Chain A
Amino acid sequence: MRNKYLGKAFEILTLFSAIAIISVILFMLFEILYNSWGTLNWNFLISPPDQGMTAGGIFPAIVGTTYLVLLMSLIGVPIGTITAIYLVEYANSKSIFTKIIRFAVNTLAGVPSIVFGLFGLGFFIQFIGGGLDKVLYDNKELVWGQPNLLWASFTMAFLTVPVVIVSVEEALRSVPDDLRAASLALGVSKLRTIIKIVIPNAMSGIITGTILAISRGAGEVAPILFTGAAYFLPKLPSSLSDQFMNLGYHIYIMSTQSTNVDETAGIQFATVAVLLLLTSSLTGIGVYFRYKIRKRKLN
């Protein structure tokens, strides 16, 4: 008897934990949406900051974030997709090469984002950028050896590659072996089978991976703190060597470094709401796709 009551008590305790987490999430969402209600409107999205950041909107930050995630995807998605293809279609799980790649991907997923920022600074900006400046401009001009959109995108791309790999891998594994066998039986070679049969069937996974990577990349701030994000720019970035504004960075600076923190509270909350809606809706779409892929695998 006693045992039974203890068990019931434990079950209720676990239920309360789940409820507690969900309540905190709801509380966060409520506070952010409630406080941004007055500021968040269409005009806020399409106008630049005004009057020393105390008025106006966040248009340049939206544009900067968009440029960043697009460039990042251009670099990271092909790398992630091809790595996943290797891991699923080619890799012999016992070979050392495969084990190294697997370990590298897992490690990459666990590297703190601030270390990616340091890597971007040390490798892309100092080494590659500095080297390019030496070769192209004879060290007279500082073009590539400084924080900019390109290096921030590269840094972010490597941060999000594991996200892409996981999604694409799952999708590739859900493609039935019958399809591959049928193609091979018709005399089609391996790589052509992958390109013509496997990849089209795994397209949803590639899209899912891209969406999840974009969601992650849009929200990360630490890697771009010193690889390209800027607090305020009068112009939109026009070349890869320009700095850019970014939603997350905007939130960070506005809430910690500006003198009129209280005055801009509405803008801050509205920016947070925009970023949060962006990342969570993207993640929502991605997770839904993934759910569908899993269902297909089960059938």
Chain B
Amino acid sequence: MKKEYNLIKKNNDYFEIFGEIFIKLISLISFIVIILIFVFVFREAQYTFIEQRHETSQEEQIQETYGDIPEDNNVSTSGYASMETSGHAGKADWNNLTSKNWQPVSSEPKYGLIPLAIGSFKVTVVAVLFGAPIAILAAIYTALFANKKLKEIIKPSIEVLASFPSVVIGFFALVILATLLQNIFGYQYRLNAFVGGLALSLAIIPIIYTITEDALSTVPKYWVEASLALGANKWQTAFFVILPAAIPGIFAALILGFGRAFGETMIVLMATGNAALVSTNIFEPVRTMSATIGAEMAEVVFGEVHYGVLFLIGSILFIFTFILNAIAEFYIRGKLLKRFRGDV
């Protein structure tokens, strides 16, 4: 098609020429936005390392806090009011950032990112360990064993889960799941990494399911037929032919699921208890990196160290998910396609 187009392209048709330039410029926006995200999230993170001024007046500070300050006085504003937002001295250095305490609002603020990183990993690992096997097995059932009718019921039903807003899943975890699980397991804290992780698995199950199902369905039909023709039965074909061929796709699904879980905010913000602890116990509350940004950005003052540190956390999240996505894409593109083209 492209060649035919070019044959009749006239050189003096300005509508065509400027139209094409316009389309190109607009399609550059996605790229520009990526660059801008890089630049501006990193730029604001600089305040982590800048020595603070103290002369900001109280009035200015109130104007420059972000998020809303509830205007309805009948309702508690305690969460906001009790937070002292006055400027803190100094800047965050490497030792402070790698310490084991996250106490940004105190006379001697501690910006240790270790407990937050541990929190993020704990919740994410629970989510992937729980969600991935179920999602992959369900995908295997849909792609390999289900008959056409069942497939048309199961697939859309699971994909509906992808349309559930994360705040809804978070609410479900906070109000229903947390109590239910505490009654079953009898642990001490109602909200903890376990509850958050399980809720988070609901968010990544549809992703892992869909990609795995795709990977399994794109295994060439003649591979399956060849296997059956050689006398292998349905399960042997599934196990030894289709599954190994789809491994790169499943791997990519896992990586993308991991990345999504790591960056997810609302679910962990609502369901993990948000206490920055250094521990390996999954039944204790955790505070993740994303939840920290979500919870504290409304209380910080522009240009303060705390403000900078939150952006620094955002930068780390961005780079981390960026790398994961790049790996997943490279893996799908490189391995999966090559394999199906026949040059294993």
Give the interface of A toward B (CB within 8 A): 3-4, 6-8, 10-11, 13-18, 20-22, 24-25, 28, 31-32, 51-53, 78-79, 82-83, 85-87, 90, 92, 97, 100-101, 103-108, 110-119, 121-123, 125-127, 142, 146-147, 158, 161-162, 165, 177, 180-181, 184, 187, 189-192, 215, 218-222, 225-226, 229-234, 243, 248-249, 251-253, 255-259, 265, 268-269, 272, 275-276, 279-280, 282-284, 287
CA distance A32 to B299 in the complex (A): 31
Q: Is the CB of B37 within 8 A of A22?
A: no
- Nearest B residue (CB) for A112: B263
Name the contact of A189 in the complex, choosing from B8, B31, B70 (C-beta under 8 A): B8
Q: Within the complex, which residue of B24, B145, B165, B265 is in contact with A14, where a contact is CB–CB below 8 Å?
A: B145
Known: A180-B1, A231-B72. A222 touches B156 (CB 8 A): no
> Residue B41 at the A interface, CB < 8 A?
yes
Contacts A13-B137, A14-B137, A106-B329 given; indicate if A189 touches B26 (C-beta within 8 A).
no
Residues of B within 8 A of A253 (CB): 70
Closest to B151 in A: A18
Q: B220 at interface (Cβ–Cβ under 8 A)?
A: no
Q: Contact residues of B with A, CB < 8 Å? A: 1-2, 4-5, 8-10, 13, 15-16, 19-20, 22-24, 26-31, 33-34, 36-37, 40-41, 43-44, 63, 66-68, 70-72, 74-76, 78-79, 133-135, 137-138, 140-142, 144-146, 154, 156-172, 174-176, 202, 205, 209, 233-236, 238-239, 256, 259-260, 262-266, 269-270, 290, 293-294, 297-298, 302, 310-311, 314, 317-318, 321-322, 324-326, 329
Q: Is the CB of B298 within 8 A of A225?
A: yes
The CA of A241 and the CA of B43, in the complex, are separated in Å by 24
Is B158 within 8 A of A257, CB to CB?
no
Decide if A20 touches B302 in the complex (CB within 8 Å). no
User: In the complex, what residues of B have CB within 8 A of residue A226's CB?
Assistant: 66-67, 297-298
Of the listed residues B138, B165, B297, B324, the one surrounded by the most CB atoms of chain A closer than 10 A to its CB is: B165
B321 touches A112 (CB 8 A): yes
In the complex, which residue of chain A has the Cβ closest to the Cβ of B66? A226
Chain B residue with the shortest CB-CB distance to A10: B235
Q: Select from chain A the residue with minimum beta-carbon distance to B35.
A: A104
* B residues near A287, Cβ cutoff 8 Å: 156, 159
Contact between B75 and A161 (Cβ–Cβ < 8 Å)? no
Return the chain A residue nearest B209 by Cβ: A21
B158:A110 contact, CB within 8 angstroms? no
Asked whether B36 lies within 8 Å of A248 as measured between CB atoms, the reply is no
- Kindly provide the distance from the CB of A82 to the nearest chain B CB, expressed in whole angstroms: 4
Q: Which residues of A contact B326 (CB under 8 A)?
A: 107
Majority DSSP secondary structure for residues of B touching A: helix
Q: How far is the CA of A10 from the CA of B145 in the complex (A)?
A: 10
Shortest CB-to-CB span from A18 to chain B, Å, is 4
Does the CB pair B71–A115 fall under 8 Å?
Answer: no
Q: List 16 A-B contacts (CB under 8 A).
A: A3-B236, A7-B233, A7-B236, A14-B138, A18-B138, A114-B293, A115-B318, A142-B63, A158-B33, A221-B165, A226-B66, A248-B168, A252-B167, A279-B164, A279-B165, A283-B163
* With known contacts A32-B172, A221-B167, A147–B67 Cβ distance under 8 A: yes
Question: Is B75 touching A53 in the complex (CB atoms < 8 A)?
Answer: yes
Instruction: Judge whether A122 and B40 touch: CB under 8 Å.
Output: yes
Q: With A and B bound together, what is the CA distance between A51 and B75 in angstroms? A: 9
Report the Cα distance A53→B40, complex, angstroms. Answer: 37
Residues A259 and B75 in contact, CB atoms below 8 Å apart: yes
Residues in B with CB closer than 8 Å to A117 are: 293-294, 297
8 Å CB contact of B141 from A14, A248, A282: A14
Q: A17 and B270 in contact (CB under 8 A), knowing A114-B263, A119-B40, A275-B168?
A: no
Q: How far is the CB of A283 from chain B (nearest CB, A)?
A: 4
A162 to B33, CA, bound (A): 12
Measured between beta carbons, the chain B residues less than 8 angstroms from A243 are 68
* A108 interface neighbour in B33, B68, B74, B265, Cβ under 8 Å: B33
Q: Are B145 and A15 in contact (CB under 8 A)?
A: yes
Query: Is A230 a contact partner of B44 (Cβ separation < 8 A)?
Result: no
Q: Which residue of B lies closest to A51 (CB)?
A: B74
User: Top 6 nearest A-B pairs by Cβ distance?
Assistant: A112-B263, A7-B235, A219-B165, A52-B74, A14-B141, A283-B163
B168 close to A276 (CB less than 8 A): yes
Q: Is the CB of A83 within 8 A of B67?
A: no
**For residue B172, which residues in chain A have a CB less than 8 angstroms away from its CB?**
28, 31-32, 272
A123-B141 in contact given A24-B202, A86-B23, A280-B163 (Cβ < 8 Å): no
Chain B: CB-nearest residue to A124:
B40
Chain A minimum-CB-distance residue to B42:
A122
CA distance A243 to B43 in the complex (A): 25
Beta-carbon contact of A52 and B72 below 8 Å: yes
Check B321–A221 contact: CB distance below 8 A.
Answer: no
B23 engages A21 (CB within 8 Å): no
Whether the pair B15, A119 counts as a contact (CB closer than 8 A) is no
With contact pairs A7-B236, A25-B160, A122-B43 given, residues A112 and B318 touching in the complex (Cβ less than 8 Å): yes
Could you list 19 further interchain pairs (A-B, Cβ under 8 angstroms) beyond the known A17-B135, A191-B20?
A: A7-B235, A10-B238, A15-B145, A17-B133, A17-B137, A20-B138, A21-B157, A22-B158, A51-B74, A104-B33, A110-B325, A114-B290, A142-B63, A190-B16, A222-B294, A232-B70, A232-B71, A233-B71, A279-B163
